[in-house]
Structure 1
Amino acid sequence: MPPGAPSQPGQPYHHGQQGLSNQPHHPGQPPQHAQPAQQAAAQQQPTPPAPLSDQARQSLVALQRLNAEIGKAVVGQQGAVTGLIIALVADGHALLEGPPGVAKTLLVRSLAASLDVEMARVQFTPDLMPADITGSLVWDAGTSTFEFRPGPVFTNLLLADEINRTPPKTQSALLEAMEEHQVSVDGQTRRLPEPFMVIATQNPIEHSGTYPLPEAQMDRFLLKIELPLPERDAEISILARHQEGFNPLSLSEAGLSAVASADDVLAARAAAEKIDVSPAVLAYIVDLVQATRHSSSLRLGVSPRGATALLRTSRVWAFLQGRSYVTPDDVKTMAISTLAHRVSLRAEADLEGITARAAIESILASVPVPR
């Protein structure tokens, strides 16, 4: 994949769209002097959204730095890099899926190295217990009391590596943390630090020794990002870097350093929440989601949580374009990576070789787009 270009709608990046470019688009301004008839017509039209504020543009520049820094270590996966940044800014979690060896773990480690935040990693295995993630009460002989020992979930970025290699009971230990940013142990609730983000990796289900994630768990992930095998030019670049001495185990030697902070992330979130969404675009999101509930290919459609997720990701995508408003194309761009993992196929559709992605693509092609 060339930098900046997954080619299909629903991926977090497109040819011809700016994403994290240094020259964001500015929405047009209305004319200063209009004729009386034009003034009357203008009064009947909604007020155009204001351009991005200076503070919002500063946040956008910080995200551009973050994107460039990750690119020092990760080659040929620009769509996945952008997807992670979208999930981070949208206050969501991301599920990375791809075959072994396509830089899933390296991508997450590079994001952590480029941010001035704490990171923890949990290697999911069949014998992993819920308390190994959330923490547990430990007897303190000195004080003769039980003391809470926090688990690795008490961090900013939690890498849940190969999450589908542990049984559903342990996978579900993350549900409360992902949804409410808190952990309850022995009747006490403890808040997690902000920002908090779970980035899980998994190998495709057809690989041996894996457990499919429960539907409730899948619905907690804002985005599912697929990492394909690199294209020829990208793989040549990867080999050239290794030939020059690149060591993926030492990102500092690769020149990665913290170029953004937690405050930058929170500022970007605040800016994205101010992105304008017109009633027509809101209705378009609802129409797409409701179409999944009536699709002949789907047993389970998208829930209201999925609808709000698509709203959030569309806002962040528009923000990355340097715009202060969401267009239907923004919604279409984010639809597949936001919605496809939230639906379940009917048995007959599965037998016919229809995929969740294909079902969402069909809905995108059939639902009328507002103009």
Structure 2
Amino acid sequence: MEKLYTILKNENKKLDAFLHVGESFHNADMYYLTKFLMSGKGIYILTLKCKETLIVPHMEVDRAKRESRIQDVRSRREYENKNNKELNQVLAQFLTKEKLQSIAVGYDFSVFVADSLREKGFDVVPVKDPVRKIRAIKTQNEIEKIKNAQRAGERAMELAVNIIKKSEIKNGVLYYKDNILTSEYIRSRIEHFLIDSFCEADGTIVACGAGSANPHWQGYGNLSANEPIIIDIFPRLKHGRYYADFTRTIVRGSPKKELIEMYDAVLKAQNIGFENIKTGVTGEEVHNAVCDVLEMQGYDTLKKSKDITEGFIHSTGHGVGLDLHELPTLGEKGLELQEGNVVTVEPGLYYKNLGGIRLEDMVVVTKNGCRNLTSFEKKLIV
């Protein structure tokens, strides 16, 4: 963890160690630091002498020694006593024995535990997002895992689009194999496919019609002809733990002229986003370029007004990795992009009387541009 060590050294504070606590199924920082999956709370410590220690529940010690990337694995029992087996007791005992006084923690560290340590005489110093900053720059191995998740997502998208393409239109409603085609059915087929592809799938969006004007509406009920269907798939590798993310909007039938114009505008805006991404450019600059294109075509954006409820009503993109949404951000106050960032580019337009149009690809930031990790076709009418 040389990068974490460097960040802590550059804090210009008299620190002895960095401390992170949590399980690792949902705490991406803990998994990143240890490469070990555990449901119980573990304790990760990096000293300013560049020594790493992992303290885990006693039953996890042997497995942690085999599976984690940490060489020094210890049991919580070493620091518990009969009267107190609480986390703050374990931490205090460890820090005392190791003669560590000033401890850096992330902003999401437990206030209760921090206060308890301070009461015992330790200095607890909050540091903003030290691990997330490191996670934002992906290695080639991480990029390959994200690509694998994206390939699974694209195959699931192909399945969904083909079902919709084969559907029949009866009285404005889509039918598949003599049954009304629903958001729930398409979502079920997508998620079952992803599970069979060794991915986790939860929250897949299949939103049709006016409801698709809400960007995060999952979608329920019948799928209609001539109306936009937004399909947003974000699988996570079950074993690799990395996410992917992409979106397509399709119409079965004949969309209104306004929807076709919206689709063309969003596609143009996305391409401008791609053109502006490179090392050294800020996420805010990319977002502003996307907003400018949409505004020139007559659509409202958040850059123009923070009060809008229709038009382009969200940021242009976000980082993807062990979390679905992580650093960096392509939006207001988005910071400088760095080589190795993996981000989505997902402009959209949303109107309550028409529905929504969104296109989302995932790219890797390079020195002089970006490389698209998404290969699925963009076609409105199927």
TM-score (norm 1): 0.28
Q: Which has the higher strand share?
A: 2
Q: Which has the higher helix share?
A: 1
Whichever of the two has the greater Rg, that structure is 2
TM-score (norm 2): 0.27
